Chains A and B, each alone.
Chain A
Amino acid sequence: MTTATPATTPALKDWPLWEVFVRSKQGLEHKHCGSLHASDAQHALQMARDVYTRRQEGVSIWVVPSKAITASAPDEKGEFFEPAADKIYRHPTFYDIPEEVGHM
C-alpha cells in the first residue's frame, strides 16, 4: 500500500460499521445489541466491550461487519412468511385431547 494517510483524514469515513452481539450468560444465545464504527475486527471487539458491557452485561461478544448481513425485505413480509399462517396443525393447540389425559 503506497497511499499515505493524509493529515486531514475525515473523522470516521474509513471506519466500517459493525453489528454487535452479546451473550449475557453462558448457555444463552448471543443477542444483537447495537452497532459501532471501528477500524478492524479486533478494534470493534474492544469498542463493543467498552460500550455494551460496562456492567457485566456479557461473557462473550461477536462483531460482524454490517455489510455482511443479508436481511429479508420488509415489503415482501407477506409472501415471505405467509406459508406458515395456514398450517395451524403445526401448533399443539390444534389438537383436542381429553382432559383426563392431563398435561401432554
Chain B
Amino acid sequence: MYTQSFSVPDDAGKTVQPLKAAEPPELMAKFDERIDADGRIEPQDWMPEAYRKTLVRQISQHAHSEIVGMLPEGNWISRAPSLKRKAILIAKVQDEGGHGLYLYSAAETLGTSRDQMLDALHSGKAKYSSIFNYPTLNWADVGVIGWLVDGAAIMNQIPLCRCSYGPYARAMVRVCKEESFHQRQGYEALLVMMKGTQAQKDMVQDAVNRWWWKCLAMFGPPDADSPNSAQGMRWGIKRISNDDLRQKFVDATVPQAKVLGVTLPDPDLKWNEARGHYDYGQIDWDEFWNTVNGHGPMNKQRLATRVKAHNDGQWVRDAALAHARKQQQRALKEAA
C-alpha cells in the first residue's frame, strides 16, 4: 500500500552523494539513453550504483511499510464489530503481508538479501511510512485507513506501475489491483457507520479529523524541499511530483467526503476556480519530520511489536527447515 514519498534517507541527517563520476561513461550513456526512451531496466542490466541504491532504499522502505502497516489494523481484528467485517479485515491485512513480500522480492533482485532488509527494519535503521506511527483509537479508524490512507497510497502507487525498474513496476501492478478493494471496503464501512447513531457518526468524524493531515503528509515534503525528487524523476522511478500527487488526492477526496457526510478538518479547503483545483491549508511539517525521525506517538510500540512477532515466529521457521531436512533424508533413504 503505502509509500510516503520515499526520498527520505534511512540515516537521517546523512546526505547520500550521487556516485556519478565513478561510472563508466559508455555504460552510463547507454543507460541514460534507455531511460530517455522510457525503456525498462531489468535485474541483470548494468545500472549506475546510485540508481541501484535509490531503488533498494525505496523498495525496501515500501516493503517495510506494508509489513508495519499490518499492525494498526491488525489491532482491530479481534474487535471487529461483525463476522463479515472481521473476515474483510483479515483479508486486507493478509494482502498487506503479500504486498510486503512482492516488494521484498523485487528489492532482492537488486542484490540485497531478505535478512539484510529485515535487520535494517528491526534495528530501527530503515524507515517506513510515518503514517503507521499514529494510533488506531476506534473502529472508524479502520474505515478511515482504508478510505484515506489506502486512497493516498493508490495515488502514489499508480504512477509506480510505470517505474523504470521492471520488477518494481510489475510488483506495483499486482499491488494496485488489490488496493482498490482496500479503499472501497473502508469507505463502505464508514458509509454504514454514517447511517447509524449519532455516536457512530461522531466516531467517523473524529477519525477523519485525526487522519486527514497525516494523509496529506504521506505524499512527502513539498517539491521545493525534496532535493532527491528531481533525480528520481530523471531516472523514471518517480513519475509525478509530491505536490501534484497531493493535489490529485485532495481533489478526489473532497467529493467523497461530501457523499459520506463528513467535513475535512481544514478551514482553508476551498475550490479555486482559477486553478481548477481545491486549495488547502498548511501541513505541519515539523510534526511530520518528528515522526519520521522516530518521535511519533507509536514509533516505539510499532517496532517493538514487529520485532516480537518476528522473534515469536522463529520456531516456525526452524520447524519448516527441520521438516524440509527430514523429508530430504526420507527421500534419500527410500532411494537407497
Bound Cα distance A34, B185 (Å): 27
| Interface SS of chain B | helix
Bound: A40/B326 CA distance, A: 11
CA distance A33 to B167 in the complex (A): 10
Docked Cα-Cα span, A96 to B46, in Å, equals 42
Q: Is chain A's interface secondary structure helix, strand, loop, or mixed overall?
A: loop
Q: Does B305 contact A (CB under 8 A)?
A: no
Chain A contacts of B114 at CB under 8 A? 11-12, 37
**A9 with B321, Cβ < 8 A, contacts A54-B95, A73-B44, A74-B45 known:** yes
Looking at the assembled complex, report how far the CB atom of A58 sits from the nearest CB atom of chain B, in whole angstroms: 13
How far is the CB of A54 from the nearest CB of chain B, in Å? Answer: 7
Chain B, range 57-99, C-beta contacts under 8 Å to A: 91, 94-95, 98
Question: Are B98 and A9 in contact, with the CB atoms below 8 A?
Answer: no
| A contact residues around B228 at 8 Å (CB) | none
Report the minimal beta-carbon distance from A10 to chain B, rounded to whole angstroms.
6
Complex-state Cα separation, A5 to B45, whole angstroms: 38
Of the stretches B1-9, B263-271, B310-318, the one at the interface is B310-318
B310: contacting residue among A11, A35, A42, A54, CB under 8 A: A11
- The minimal Cβ–Cβ distance linking A76 to chain B, given in whole angstroms, is 11
Q: Which residues of A contact B304 (CB under 8 A)?
A: none
Interface hit among B101-109, B123-131, B272-280: B101-109
> In the assembled complex, which residues on chain A have CB atoms less than 8 Å from the CB atom of B318?
5, 9
**Contact at B321–A1, with CB atoms within 8 Å?**
no
Q: Which of B46, B108, B317, B329 has a CB less than 8 Å from the CB of A9? A: B317
Residue among B44, B94, B171, B320 with max Cβ neighbours from chain A (10 Å)? B320
Complex Cα distance, B91 from A13, in Å, reads: 28
- B316 CB to nearest A CB, Å: 10
A50: min CB distance to chain B, Å: 8
Residues of B within 8 A of A43 (CB): 320, 323-324
CA distance in complex: A17, B45 (Å):
20
A32 to chain B minimum Cβ distance, whole angstroms, is: 9
**Residues of chain A within 8 A of B101, CB atoms compared:** 36, 51
Number of interface residues of A (CB under 8 A): 28
- Give the CA-CA distance A53 to B90 in the complex, in Å: 16
Q: Tell me the smallest distance from the CB of A52 to a CB of chain B, in Å.
A: 8
- B282 at the A interface (CB under 8 A): no
A5 near B322: Cβ-Cβ < 8 Å = yes
A12 and B324 CA atoms in complex are apart in Å by: 13
The reply to whether B323 and A39 contact each other, CB–CB distance below 8 Å, is: yes
B119 CB, nearest partner CB in chain A, Å: 8
Shortest Cβ distance from B99 into chain A, in angstroms? 10
Q: Is A71 an interface residue (CB 8 A)?
A: yes
State whether A54 touches B317 (Cβ < 8 A).
no
Q: A15, B321: Cβ atoms under 8 Å?
A: yes
Chain A's closest residue to B91 (CB) is A54
| B198 within 8 Å of A (CB atoms) | no
Q: B residues near A, CB below 8 A? A: 42, 44-46, 91, 94-95, 98, 101-102, 105, 108, 114-115, 118, 170-171, 174, 178, 310, 314, 317-318, 320-325, 327-329
A-B contact list, 15 entries, CB within 8 Å:
A12-B114, A14-B321, A34-B105, A34-B170, A34-B171, A35-B108, A38-B320, A39-B321, A40-B324, A43-B323, A50-B94, A50-B98, A51-B102, A54-B94, A54-B95
**8 interchain residue pairs of minimum CB distance:** A40-B324, A39-B324, A39-B320, A74-B44, A35-B105, A11-B115, A12-B114, A74-B45
